[in-house]
């Protein structure tokens, strides 16, 4: 277990915003020193910020209820589509909390955007409302583990979310204390404020923790939470819902944690295009009537179906398309807005993923995407990708991993749904290698990664030349 948490510096960016004031025109008189708004526009002067805000505020928008276009918004049961079986399973297993009993632990797994978090939140919300009528203090303590880097940080975040749910304060600092003190504070908050609670650990596989530990942080977290009740550290009835995109996550859980966690598994598969259309049609009342052109929903669903059947992406496409149409002053959301939104959402998603990864992972990803961008099927052999990676590390004088480590780093990228891979052989002379396929356009990944100043130092044309040379050498 981590003993102490050191303070972490947070990099901030300073902005030097300057505002220019419009000067009066040379032919203005003393009796009329300030030209009217209409005269300003006639003279070619730009609108003030206030004028632009008021003008936009007075426009009739296209979106009536933006919350329905938020993938994380908890929607009514009749808006949950294509997940009847999973909804029934999760409801049946968590419903025992209504009798002030401990529900079983759950492991929900499947690709991103397939309803895992949505269903968990919806079921817990209903349980909470019923428990309130029965004088049972029920809490849902949810954290997303994507941005949590150590066990100590994760425990503090759980304590903080439990305190928010109970409307109380956390009484230990985030840094500078032993992790055990954070565990004790979490137990105190839960015991004093809840009869029953569900810990929802979203994207749990991302909580790897310190590399010098024998097992990942998510394994130690599961062990502590699942053992706390048996050790009488938690008097409240507590269960854990672990959510992961990685179907093999449980293989990395230590034997002690596995024996005490023992979850019920619920699998979520991809949505198909028809299910995605149904999801979007259940949310089309987010827009005013007759605003959406007929081909908008089928096109947004088709785009999302191409990338792992991700409902979040489908909903995001609708939202961004609507916002683009509003900004352009259009009276309808059209097919071209969806296509423009597709490019924007794709880049934003990649940017969100790559922004937080290490420079070494960026170099591995850039090398592999550079190879894929030059092949007909947008795939990249690991052997070719590694040689391009060697060129990149030499170019910026960075530490160079062995090929096995490069491959492992690329395998880790599969958890972000950016790449997938298959083991292949092109004959006895070529040996075995991994072939990486990208879920997004390789060009989008390259463009996004070049926002890192170290990678942007390398000439894109020079990289392309190296890639083409290596591709010619493939056997």
Contacting residues for 238 by C-beta, under 8 A, at least 6 apart:
102, 190, 196, 197, 198, 199, 225, 228, 229
Alpha-helical (H) ranges within 194-327 are 217-228, 255-261, 273-281, 296-306, 311-327
* Residue 297 burial by Cβ neighbours in a 10 Å radius (0-12, 13-18, 19+): buried
Q: How far apart (Å, rounded) are the C-alpha atoms in residues 362 and 398?
A: 12
Q: How far apart (Å, rounded) are the C-alpha atoms in residues 142 and 467?
A: 44
**Annotated binding site for ATP, which residues?**
114-118, 271, 283
C-beta of residue 307 within 8 angstroms of C-beta of residue 313: yes
User: What spatial distance separates the first Cα and last Cα of the chain, rounded to whole Å?
Assistant: 48
Nearest to 159 by CA among 173, 177, 149: 173
C-beta of residue 106 within 8 angstroms of C-beta of residue 263: yes
Sheet holding 196-202, edge to edge: 138-144, 196-202, 237-244, 106-109, 264-267
Maximum pairwise Cα distance, the chain: 91
Hey, which bits of 4-137 come out as E strands? 106-109
The two tokens of residue 235 are 């008097």
Q: How far apart (Å, rounded) are the C-alpha atoms in residues 356 and 250?
A: 24
Hey, which bits of 38-189 come out as E strands? 106-109, 138-144
Nearest to 143 by CA among 59, 85, 225: 225
- Torsion 47-48-51-52 (CA) sign: positive
Q: How far apart (Å, rounded) are the C-alpha atoms in residues 48 and 205?
A: 48
**Annotated binding site, which residues?**
114-118, 271, 283
Q: Which of helix, strand or coil describes residue 106?
A: strand
Q: How far apart (Å, rounded) are the C-alpha atoms in residues 201 and 107?
A: 10
> What burial letters (b/e) apply to 65-100, b meaning 16+ CB within 10 Å?
eeebbbbeebbeeebbbbbeebbebbeebbebbbeb
| Ramachandran quadrant class, 399 (left: phi over 0; alpha: psi -120 to 50; beta: rest) | beta
């Amino acid at each position: 277990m981590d003993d102490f948490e050191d303070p972490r510096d947070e990099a901030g960016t300073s902005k030097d915003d300057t505002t220019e004031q419009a000067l009066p025109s040379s032919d203005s008189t003393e009796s009329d020193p300030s030209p009217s708004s209409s005269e300003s526009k006639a003279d070619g002067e730009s609108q003030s910020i206030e004028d632009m805000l008021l003008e936009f505020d007075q426009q009739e928008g296209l979106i009536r209820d933006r919350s329905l276009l938020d993938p994380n918004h908890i929607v009514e049961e009749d808006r949950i589509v294509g997940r009847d079986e999973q909804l029934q399973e999760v409801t049946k297993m968590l419903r025992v909390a209504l009798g002030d009993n401990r529900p079983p632990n759950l492991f929900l797994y499947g690709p991103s955007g397939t309803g895992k978090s949505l269903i968990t939140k919806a079921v817990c919300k209903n349980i909470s409302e019923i428990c309130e009528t029965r004088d049972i203090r029920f809490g849902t303590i949810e954290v997303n583990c994507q941005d949590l880097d150590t066990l100590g940080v994760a425990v503090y975040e759980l304590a903080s979310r439990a305190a928010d749910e109970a409307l109380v304060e956390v009484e230990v600092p985030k840094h500078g204390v032993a992790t055990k003190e954070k565990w004790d504070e979490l137990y105190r908050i839960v015991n004093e404020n809840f009869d029953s609670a569900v810990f929802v650990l979203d994207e749990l596989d991302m909580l790897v923790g310190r590399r010098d530990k024998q097992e990942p942080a998510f394994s130690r977290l599961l062990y502590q939470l699942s053992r706390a009740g048996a050790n009488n550290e938690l008097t409240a009835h507590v269960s854990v819902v672990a959510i992961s995109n990685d179907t093999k996550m449980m293989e990395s859980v230590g034997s002690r944690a596995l024996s005490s966690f023992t979850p019920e598994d619920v699998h979520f598969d991809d949505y198909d295009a028809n299910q995605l259309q149904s999801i979007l049609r259940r949310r089309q009342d987010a827009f005013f009537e007759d605003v959406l052109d007929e081909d908008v929903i089928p096109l947004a669903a088709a785009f999302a179906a191409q990338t792992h059947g991700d409902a979040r992406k489908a909903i995001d496409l609708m939202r961004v398309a609507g916002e683009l149409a509003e900004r352009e002053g259009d009276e309808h959301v059209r097919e071209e807005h969806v296509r423009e939104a597709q490019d924007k959402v794709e880049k934003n998603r990649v940017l969100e993923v790559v922004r937080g990864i290490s420079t070494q992972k960026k170099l591995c990803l850039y090398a592999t995407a550079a190879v894929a961008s030059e092949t007909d099927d947008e795939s990249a052999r690991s052997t070719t990708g590694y040689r391009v990676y060697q060129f990149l590390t030499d170019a910026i004088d960075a530490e160079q991993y062995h090929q096995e480590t490069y491959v492992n780093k690329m395998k880790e990228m599969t958890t972000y749904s950016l790449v997938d891979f298959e083991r292949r052989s092109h004959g006895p002379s070529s040996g075995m290698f991994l072939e990486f396929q990208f879920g997004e356009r390789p060009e989008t990944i390259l463009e996004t990664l070049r926002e890192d100043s170290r990678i942007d130092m390398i000439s894109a044309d020079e990289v392309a030349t190296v890639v083409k040379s290596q591709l010619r050498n493939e056997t």
